[in-house]
Structures are given as structure tokens and as C-alpha cells.
């Protein structure tokens, strides 16, 4: 193997490692702190004392604000300067009816089991039936059932009113045939007739939930009121590889055509961020799962994203302006489920951009590879076999280049004696030596880059496959054979003193050593035969086993290819003397 080929191999590995560093967020931790239980109820405000405090709007009462998940109040940065985190909120107070019971309402569809609470009218659990968490239970997107998700906050310049402690009345609409809940309505009202209602509509066989939000009798002529609704408690951590999952925790929002991604580390300096523009959607994501909120087009112009890096909790909210007429209505579309490229694409709002498919120039290649793997999986129900098939097809596709590369390397090997003579002749004139060597290559029609060209052309496929294996829900926990039970993570056969033993990279290194022993090599570069397999094992050691499987299969196919080519050349050389002898006898 010549120096250029070695350089190409090293460059391939370096690009993959660099890709991991640049593409993922720096918010990486080995472990995450235990969550503290938040206050179960908001302290009741004394309306008379609030009135004495001088609330400017006579139609509103004062209520203390409620801290965010994680202990601190991330939204404190949104309050006017000079005010504390807990301030008077000019918004209506919805007083709970004495003795009103707290109800838990369960909703079941073919894809998930959801539980709602009348306390706050929030979602306290949504268990996805098709996906299992690290401990074997179904993945539950709601991280803290005590707090729940999809709460409503009414905010103003003076502070906010969080309805998470308000007891809502509940009505439902049930399918008479299946006894399945089709709609669920939560209503909170005060003595003046002001009300807040949330109606959830469920679609069987879909992760989409429709939410109709209505505020009546809530307005102010003196200040701007806003309704905040979104996902505030963070997503559950469901993967075995916590380190990789923490890398992917983020809030993502699409405003117009611009995508805003706020990783966990970005909240260290600014716990709350606001993005303004034409909001198409806002979402909270983990490695494989997503909670997204989609408003009607052109109705929302601001989103809030916030997070607590100490607790690895992030959230996102739509900021919906409250109408001065006293009636505010909006219909939101929620997506609570896996980050599935095809399902997200079908929504037609650009949510597929939450799928990590690499840089813009590599995304089309990643999508083609994902499509190929998914379609082939319908025929071969094992993604490991499909990856081997992909490796075989790329080997066939690049066979002409590989054959030309091997031929070029052999021709270069034959030219080594002449190149050595040139080195001795022009050892004091490097420029002249370069010129003479290139002239020699041209005379013998040898391409010095031929050895590394096939590898360079395969790099987009390699990087795209890395993206697919790391981020596609289809690859999550996809097994192959024996100990390889998750192609999206490194294969682990044992853990010794905290160090994971991965077998497949060692097999890959052995196959690479075998391949290099069969490849024409400059004797002065013989040490590389031993060094490069070791280097590649180090680079590949913690990469997804599916990627290592692809490269290992490629190595074994290259070995078989070289063996066939060598046999062909040996047969050709044996026939040439025989042909020469026949010509001599004839003459």
C-alpha cells in the first residue's frame, strides 16, 4: 500500500472523528444529576393583599410565579429589569372548587398509552408501545409525571399565571364501537366567567394529537398578555448509552426557513432564549424521540426555549398573543413520538429537519442509504444482512476503480527500482526529482492517485451510513447475530474494570492486516502493514457496530477480489510464455 492510500485511510478515519466533534453539541456528560421533585402546588395568592399592592388592571388578580423544572426560574430573564423572579402577575386567578377531585384519564391508541391529569389539564405519561427503554419498559416521553407536560401559562410584563395547579373539569367523547376516547376537554373557569379550555383529539395509528386551545374573558387594555404552551419538563432519557443521548438533547425551532437549535450547553449562560419570526414549529428532542408543537401558519411569531444543564432538562414553548377582544382561539398540531424521517416528512412542515442526517451536502446521500436499508429490510428482516448487502453493492459499483487502482499500485511497484535511481540521482534537487518521477508515471501511464481514489469516493457513503446508524430510529436496537444486538452502538462482549471489550473492531483490524499483506507495498513502508490496522481499530473502536460491520465486510470482499485478480494475473503470466514457445516453433 503506497503513501497516498495510507493517507486516504487516515483521512477517512480523521473525517469521521472530526465529524463527531463538530456535528454534535458540546453538552456531553458522563452522568446526569438526580431530578428533584418540584412543588406539587402553587401557593395560593391572597387577592386582597394583591389588590392592596396596587395591581394596575382592575380585571385581574395577582399571583406569584412558579419556578421552572430544575429548581431555578429560567424565565426570570424575561421579566423587566429590577423585578425579582417571583412577581405580581396581572392575570385572572382560577380558584379550585372546594373538594374537586383530581382525576387521571387514560387514553389508548394502537401506538401509545397516554395518561392525563385534571390537575393542570396536563399530560403525565405517554408510553410508546413499539419502543422499549433501557430497562425494558416502554419508552415514556414524559420525564416528570408530577409536573406533567403541555401546561398553559398566561404571561404579561408583570409576571405570569401558571395553571399547572388548577383543577380542571373533564369531559370526553368516546367511540361507541371501540370504547376508545376520541376527544378529551379540560375546562377551568372563574366566578366572572373567564375560562381556559384545552381539547385534545386523538388519531388512532398516528403520533399526531390535535389541540384546540381557547381563552375567554381574558384580556387587558393596559398591557400585552401572552399564552405560553409547550413542553416544559424535558424528555425522558431512555437509552443505554447515556453519554450519546445527552449529546442530542436540544430544543429545535423552525422560523421561516431558518432552523434554531439550542443544545443543553447553550443554556449555561442564557437559561432562556427567545426566537422571533414566522414560527412553523418548535420542539424538544432527545436522540430518538420528539415532542413538537405546530401552530397554524402565520399565527405565532415568537418561541421560547429554556433549559437547566445541571439536570439535563430542556423545554420549548409557543408564545401565543392573547386577543384584546377577550376571546383567543388557536388549533395546534402536536407530534409526540419517534424521530422518524418518513412520518415527519409526511406532516409537510419541515419537521424532518430534526433528523440528524449530516451536513447539507451529505443529507441526500444519507436519505438514499436510509431508504435503501428500510426497503431491503422488508425482504431481508435483518439489518445486519442489509448492511452487508450495501457493502457488496458499493464494492460492485466501485469494482472498475478498484481494479484500476490495484493495477496502478502493481505498476508503481514495478517502477520502484527506477524511482530509487532517480532519488539517488536528484537527492539534492527535490523539485527536479518530483518532475522526473511524474514524467516516469506519465510515460508508463500510471496514476499515482489511483490507489486512494476508490476510498475517497466511498467517503460520502461511509459518512452518510454513520449518520443513518447513529440517528435513525429504524437502527435503534436493531440486532444482527450473537453478541451484536444493537447496530446503532458499539458491540460489547464484556466489561472489564469499567472498560468495554468490543470484538468486531478487532475482527476488522485482522481483516485489514490480511488485506494489506496481499497488497503490493513498497518495502520501506512495510511497517505500515502493522501500524494502519492498529490505528483503524483505535478509530473504529467506539463507533456503531453497523459501521464496523460495513467496513469489515468491505475488507473481506476486497480480500476475495484481490485473490481472484491475482489468480487471473498468474494464469495470464503462465499463458504468455506458452504462447511465445508456440510462435517460435511455428517460425
Q: Tens digits of per-residue pLDDT, 31-60?
A: 333 333 333 333 333 333 333 333 333 233
Q: Tens digits of per-residue pLDDT, 278-299?
A: 999 999 999 999 999 999 998 9
Does residue 371 surpass a pLDDT of 70?
Answer: yes
| pLDDT confidence of residue 75 | 41
Does residue 415 surpass a pLDDT of 90?
Answer: no
Per DSSP, 475 falls in state: G
Least confident residue range of 378-392, 403-417, 487-501, 507-521: 403-417
Select the more confidently predicted residue: 310 or 113.
113
Does residue 246 surpass a pLDDT of 90?
Answer: no
Select the more confidently predicted residue: 527 or 118.
118
Rounded Cα–Cα distance for residues 2 and 532 (Å): 12
Q: Tens digits of per-residue pLDDT, 67-86?
A: 343 333 444 333 333 332 32
Select the more confidently predicted residue: 279 or 175.
279
Using DSSP, state whether 368 is helix, strand or coil: helix
Does residue 398 surpass a pLDDT of 70?
Answer: yes
Percent of the chain with pLDDT over 70: 74
Domain boundaries, the chain: 3-21+364-577, 101-354
Does residue 439 surpass a pLDDT of 50?
Answer: yes
**pLDDT, mean of residues 202-222:** 91
Q: What average pLDDT does the chain have?
A: 77
Residues 491, 449: contact at Cβ < 8 Å? no
- CATH class assigned to 101-354: mainly beta
Instruction: Give, in degrees to the nearest 5, the angle at Cα 170 between 164 and 173.
Output: 135
Rounded Cα–Cα distance for residues 305 and 316 (Å): 4
Name the packing angle between helices 3-23 and 528-540 (round to 10°): 10
The top-scoring range by mean pLDDT among 68-72, 483-487, 496-500, 521-525 is 483-487
Closest CA to 118 of 170, 43, 42: 170
Q: What confidence tier does 586 reach under pLDDT thresholds 50, 70, 90?
A: low
Q: What confidence tier does 142 reach under pLDDT thresholds 50, 70, 90?
A: very high
Closest CA to 540 of 581, 498, 490: 490
| pLDDT confidence of residue 450 | 58
| pLDDT confidence of residue 58 | 28
**pLDDT, mean of residues 257-266:** 90
| pLDDT confidence of residue 568 | 63
Least confident residue range of 30-44, 242-256, 490-504: 30-44
Rounded Cα–Cα distance for residues 193 and 459 (Å): 65
Rounded Cα–Cα distance for residues 495 and 491 (Å): 11
- Lookup result for grid cell 449562560: 269
| pLDDT confidence of residue 88 | 33
The top-scoring range by mean pLDDT among 76-80, 100-104, 152-156, 337-341 is 337-341
**pLDDT, mean of residues 158-169:** 86
* Distances, alpha carbon 474 to alpha carbons 228, 346, 370, 397, 488, in Å: 34, 17, 9, 25, 9
Q: Tens digits of per-residue pLDDT, 531-581?
A: 778 888 888 888 888 888 988 988 888 888 777 766 766 665 565 555 555
Amino acid at each position: 500500500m503506497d503513501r497516498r492510500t495510507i493517507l486516504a485511510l487516515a483521512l477517512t478515519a480523521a473525517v469521521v472523528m472530526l465529524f463527531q466533534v463538530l456535528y454534535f453539541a458540546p453538552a456531553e456528560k458522563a452522568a446526569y444529576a438526580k431530578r428533584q421533585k418540584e412543588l406539587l402546588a402553587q401557593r395560593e395568592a391572597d387577592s386582597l393583599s394583591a389588590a392592596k399592592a396596587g395591581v394596575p388592571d382592575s380585571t385581574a388578580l395577582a399571583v406569584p410565579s412558579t419556578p421552572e423544572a430544575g429548581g431555578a426560574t429560567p424565565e426570570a430573564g424575561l421579566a423587566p429589569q429590577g423585578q425579582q423572579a417571583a412577581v405580581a402577575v396581572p392575570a385572572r386567578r382560577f380558584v379550585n372548587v372546594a373538594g374537586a377531585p383530581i382525576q387521571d384519564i387514560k387514553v389508548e391508541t394502537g401506538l401509545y398509552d397516554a395518561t392525563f391529569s385534571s390537575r393542570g389539564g396536563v399530560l403525565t405519561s405517554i408510553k410508546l408501545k413499539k419502543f422499549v427503554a433501557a430497562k425494558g419498559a416502554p419508552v415514556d416521553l414524559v420525564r416528570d409525571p408530577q409536573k406533567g407536560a403541555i401546561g398553559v401559562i398566561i404571561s404579561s410584563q408583570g409576571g405570569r399565571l401558571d395553571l399547572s395547579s388548577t383543577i380542571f373539569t373533564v369531559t370526553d367523547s368516546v367511540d361507541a364501537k371501540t370504547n376508545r376516547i376520541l376527544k378529551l376537554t379540560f375546562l377551568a373557569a372563574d366566578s366572572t366567567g373567564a375560562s381556559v379550555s384545552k381539547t385534545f383529539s386523538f388519531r388512532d395509528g398516528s403520533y399526531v394529537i390535535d389541540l384546540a386551545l381557547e381563552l375567554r374573558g381574558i384580556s387587558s387594555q393596559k398591557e400585552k398578555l401572552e399564552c405560553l404552551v409547550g413542553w416544559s419538563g424535558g424528555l425522558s432519557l431512555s437509552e443505554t448509552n447515556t453519554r450519546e443521548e445527552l449529546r442530542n438533547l436540544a430544543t429545535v425551532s423552525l422560523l421561516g426557513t431558518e432552523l434554531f437549535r439550542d443544545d443543553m450547553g447553550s443554556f449555561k449562560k442564557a437559561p432562556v432564549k427567545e426566537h422571533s419570526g414566522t414560527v412553523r414549529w418548535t420542539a424538544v428532542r432527545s436522540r430518538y424521540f420528539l415532542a413538537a408543537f405546530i401552530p397554524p401558519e402565520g399565527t405565532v411569531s415568537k418561541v421560547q426555549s429554556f433549559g437547566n444543564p445541571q439536570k439535563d432538562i430542556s423545554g420549548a414553548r409557543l408564545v401565543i398573543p392573547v386577543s384584546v377582544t377577550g376571546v383567543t382561539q388557536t388549533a395546534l398540531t402536536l407530534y409526540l413520538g419517534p424521530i422518524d424521517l418518513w412520518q415527519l416528512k409526511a406532516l409537510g412542515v419541515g419537521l424532518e429537519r430534526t433528523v440528524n442526517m449530516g451536513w447539507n451536502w451529505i443529507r441526500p446521500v444519507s436519505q438514499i442509504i436510509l431508504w435503501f436499508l428500510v426497503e431491503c429490510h422488508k425482504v431481508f428482516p435483518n439489518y445486519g444482512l442489509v448492511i452487508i448487502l450495501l457493502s457488496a453493492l458499493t464494492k460492485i459499483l466501485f469494482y472498475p476503480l478498484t481494479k484500476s487502482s490495484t493495477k496502478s499500485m502493481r505498476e508503481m511497484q514495478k517502477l520502484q527500482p527506477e524511482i530509487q535511481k532517480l532519488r539517488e540521482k536528484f537527492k539534492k534537487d527535490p523539485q527536479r526529482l518530483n518532475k522526473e518521477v511524474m514524467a516516469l508515471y506519465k510515460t508508463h501511464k500510471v496514476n499515482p492517485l489511483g490507489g486512494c481514489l476508490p476510498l475517497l469516493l466511498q467517503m460520502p457513503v461511509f459518512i452518510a451510513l454513520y449518520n443513518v446508524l447513529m440517528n435513525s430510529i429504524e437502527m435503534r436496537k436493531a440486532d444482527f447475530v450473537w453478541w451484536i444486538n444493537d447496530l446503532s452502538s458499539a458491540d460489547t462482549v464484556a466489561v472489564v474494570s469499567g472498560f468495554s471489550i468490543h470484538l468486531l473492531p478487532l475482527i476488522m483490524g485482522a481483516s485489514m492486516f490480511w488485506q494489506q499483506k496481499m497488497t503490493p507495498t513498497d518495502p520501506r513502508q512495510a511497517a505500515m502493514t502493522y501500524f494502519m490496522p492498529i490505528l483503524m481499530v483505535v478509530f473504529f473502536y467506539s463507533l456503531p457496530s453497523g459501521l464496523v460491520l460495513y467496513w469489515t465486510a468491505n475488507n473481506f470482499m476486497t480480500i476475495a477480489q484481490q485473490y481472484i485478480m491475482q489468480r487471473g494475473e498468474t494464469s495470464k503470466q503462465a499463458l504468455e510464455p506458452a504462447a511465445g514457445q508456440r510462435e517460435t516453433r511455428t517460425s
